[in-house]
A and B are shown apart, each in its own frame.
Chain A
Amino acid sequence: MQETILKTNDLTKKYSGGAGIRTINMALRKGDIYGFIGQNGAGKTTLLRIITSLIHPTSGNLELFESSEERELILARKRIGAMIETPAFFPKMTARENLEYYHIQREIADTNEIERVLKLVNLDNTGSKRFNQFSLGMKQRLGLALAIMGDPELLILDEPINGLDPSGMIEFREIISKLNQEKQITILISSHILSELAQVATRYGIIHQGKLIKEFTKEELEKNTQGYITMKVSSAVKAGEILSSAMNPERFEVHSTEEIRLFDCHKDSSKVIERLSSNGIKIYGSNEVKINLEDYFIHVIDEIA
């Protein structure tokens, strides 16, 4: 069984304004890339802030690297690299100087660490350019560089793709995958760009109105988002009767009087067409409908609503 890196127990944060999180129970296992999904104000950043101790929970607790006692948590949190919201650095210092500040502060022994992380995020050629002259994408990269400095075991990234251009997004995805696969770094990542998240995450959690409403694995997501074939037929009810004798009823759905939906039939759809035609059902057209993470997210939210 994989080691649990992070576990939250009924974590709750109440703000005077009302938002926050409510009794969140989640677990992160070693090697996970956990995609955290939610609408604006759903509570994603609040949870990430609690994990990084920037804010204190109203109730509940968390375990980090199997430590829950306060003194142990202080040490455990040093094994985390985090980038919460827009990266913040000293505006008049260069990328190197900013990282040097944290290099000294965190007593990182490796003298090549700054160069290594700057190279990794492609900021090694910024020279004397100050942080306040950086583009949003460069700022995001520097934030990522700081988060990965010192080889953390858990990486927490809040909206890290914001502001990145398409090539930046690809690079980011590659860095994340590399860190996860080569260094076994566990990653907790929240993002609005679900298409990007879908390409890197191995587990997902959907947070809605402060509650963690669903957790699923990459495999479960694939299963739930494999899409379906929709067919416009002369009589969907009759087509359903014909198909029920030949296949599992879970694999099709009579959607309306003229529409039937076929699930998990991408490979043998021609057989279905043949069977329906030979039984006198006219097929006016068929379409493959694909579902992505965004559709699935909306579907889950709608179910709750």
Chain B
Amino acid sequence: MTSIIKSDIFRIKKGSAVRNVFLAGMVIIIITGINMFNSRSGFGGVGVQSSASAARSLPANGAQFVQQMRDDGLFPFFILAFAVAVLGADYSAGTIRNSLSYFVDRKKVYFAKCITGFLCCLIYTLVCLIVSCIAGVILFGFGGFSLTMISRILTQLILSIPLYIGMIAIGNGLLVFTKKTSITIASYLIGLIIFPSVTYQIYQLFPNAEWLKLCDPLSAFSLLSRFWEFPLMYVGMVLLFWIILDAILLFLGMRVYSEADVI
């Protein structure tokens, strides 16, 4: 399994798709930071700032900026790019035949692809964290960095793991079902829009379970980026929801991947 992950990392390094997503993430952070900085001095901001960060309060210091950047509403969309780059490329290039005629244990291959996608998410998070730290310090100063803040970010990172796995599993699952990158992208985007409506409808059935409204990917990412502001039960239930969803999605994806004919 390690060799499959290593080879995919080799390929990702050679390609530009994942690198572009990383660059996009970094650029968004830098532009948002600059726009926030300009807004503070009365110049106002345009572009990314207007949509992504206008609603945010202006950071008082570097640490607050880092914290605000953790609430990255675009990340769920970016995760699909990782799934597509790792597993989707195999389908679109037809190289799946080369891999599966050699590695007959398809469960291993599928898990390896999911792990590679997950690693991309982690690296993306770390890269964005480093960039937001540097940008935050340059633009808003050293203030606010404390042990509590660092431990919160680390906890948040760990808590986000089920979400990363889940989103990769959704992307890979869609690829395995459709075998087409274009259909996968369309379904994924539609899914991201529909998901909150579905969880809201379920919430209507169980009005006491308010946490249900936070289970969709965008809300869940937002919740986890500020987990300490929510009741512990909400955080726990959202995580449980995603852990169960991960298990179901991974099982289904793996099953279809293992049993499908590669034509």
Contacts and interface: CB of A to CB of B under 8 A. Distances in A.
B102 A97 contact: no
Interface stretch (A78-86, A115-123, A161-169, A201-209): A78-86
A88 interface: yes
Contact of B261 (A56, A86, A88, A91): A56
B101 interface: yes
Contacts of B97: 54, 84-85, 88
B3 A106 contact: yes
B44 interface: no
A97 B6 contact: no
Interface string A247-260: 00000000000000
A296 interface: no
Interface string B89-113: 1000111111111111100000000
A141 to B, nearest CB: 15
B263 interface: yes
B11 interface: yes
A104 B7 contact: yes
A91 B105 CA distance: 26
A53 B11 contact: no
A53 B7 contact: no
Interface in A70-115: 73-74, 77-78, 80, 82, 84-86, 88-93, 97, 100-102, 104-107
A102 B103 CA distance: 11
A74 B4 contact: no
A106 B4 CA distance: 8
B262 A55 contact: yes
Contact of A88 (B10, B93, B259, B263): B93
A74 B100 CA distance: 11
B261 A106 contact: no
Contacts of A56: 259, 261
A82 B10 contact: no
B56 interface: no
Given A77-B102, A90-B11, A105 B3 contact: yes
A93 B3 contact: no
Contacts of A30: none
Nearest to A82: B101
Given A56-B259, A105-B4, A91 B93 contact: yes
- Max chain B C-beta neighbours (<10 A), residue from A54, A55, A73, A89: A54
A18 B89 CA distance: 30
Contacts of B262: 49, 54-55
B207 interface: no
A292 interface: no
Contact of A90 (B95, B100, B103, B263): B95
B102 A88 contact: no
19 contacts: A53-B100, A53-B101, A55-B263, A74-B104, A78-B102, A84-B101, A86-B94, A88-B94, A88-B96, A89-B95, A89-B98, A90-B11, A90-B15, A92-B14, A93-B11, A102-B7, A104-B10, A105-B3, A106-B3
Interface of A: 49, 52-56, 73-74, 77-78, 80, 82, 84-86, 88-93, 97, 100-102, 104-107, 146
Interface of B: 3-4, 6-7, 10-11, 14-15, 89, 93-105, 259, 261-263
